[in-house]
Structure 1
Amino acid sequence: MCLGIPGRITAITDEGRMMAMADVSGVRREVSVACVAGADLSALVGQWALIHVGFAMAIIDEDEAEKTLQALRDLGEAQETLEMMRASDLALEGRS
């Protein structure tokens, strides 16, 4: 099953590579915004996006993001995925 989790784009990290920082329930993750990018990447900052395996797949509104996060929490899938993301972030930083 593919799981996309809402995250808020917080900054553009590399305009040339179309990369941005996203906050996914408190976990910061660099993601590609190539699938959702317009002419002005800075317009994405503050927007909610559906994040899947390092890509912002679609821009969603805040209400949809909150409803989706709540549904995922209710199902228990979000927590497991976020724990895996945290573990991979710690491993990348060498802090396993």
Structure 2
Amino acid sequence: MCLGIPGKIVEITDVESMLANVEVSGIKREINIACIIETTVEDLVGKWTLVHVGFAMCIIDEVQAKETLLALETMQALDHEVNDFSAVGQAVGDK
């Protein structure tokens, strides 16, 4: 399964190599933006994008980005709950 994580482009780091920093939940990473350039590289600063394995795959709007981040956070919380439940089940089965 491929999963794109929403990130906001906060700065262009290398115009020639088409690299930019994106921020995802407070963490900045350098990604390749070659697939999403429509006009100039500088026009991408402030835009939201779906990031997959270090590449910006497409531009998304801010509402869509925030909804996706919320859904991912909710899934992570659910995953934590399932893991806790599984640990309890194993402890009960061990007795």
TM-score computed with the length of structure 1 as normaliser: 0.77
- Structure 1 stretches lacking a partner, 5+ long: 78-96
* 1:21-51: CA deviation from partner (whole Å, max 9, x where unpaired): 0001111000000010123110000000001
Q: CA deviation at 1:67?
A: 0.4
Are residues 1:47 and 2:43 paired?
Answer: no
- Structure 2 stretches lacking a partner, 5+ long: 78-95
Which structure shows the bigger proportion of residues in helix conformation?
2
Q: How does 1:75-94 map to 2 (within 5 A)?
A: 75-76=75-76
Find the counterpart in structure 2 of residue 6 from structure 1: 6
CA distance in structure 2 between the partners assigned to 1:60 and 1:42 by the alignment: 17
CA distance in structure 2 between the partners assigned to 1:28 and 1:40 by the alignment: 22
Secondary structure of residue in 1 paired with 2:70: helix
CA distance in structure 2 between the partners assigned to 1:20 and 1:37 by the alignment: 11
Percent identity reads 52
Give the alignment's Cα RMSD to 1 decimal. 1.2
CA distance in structure 1 between the partners assigned to 2:46 and 2:39 by the alignment: 16
CA distance in structure 1 between the partners assigned to 2:75 and 2:2 by the alignment: 14
- How many residues align? The count is 77
Secondary structure of residue in 1 paired with 2:34: coil
Could you tell me which amino acid in structure 1 is paired with residue 33 of structure 2?
V
Please say which structure displays the higher CA radius of gyration.
Answer: 2
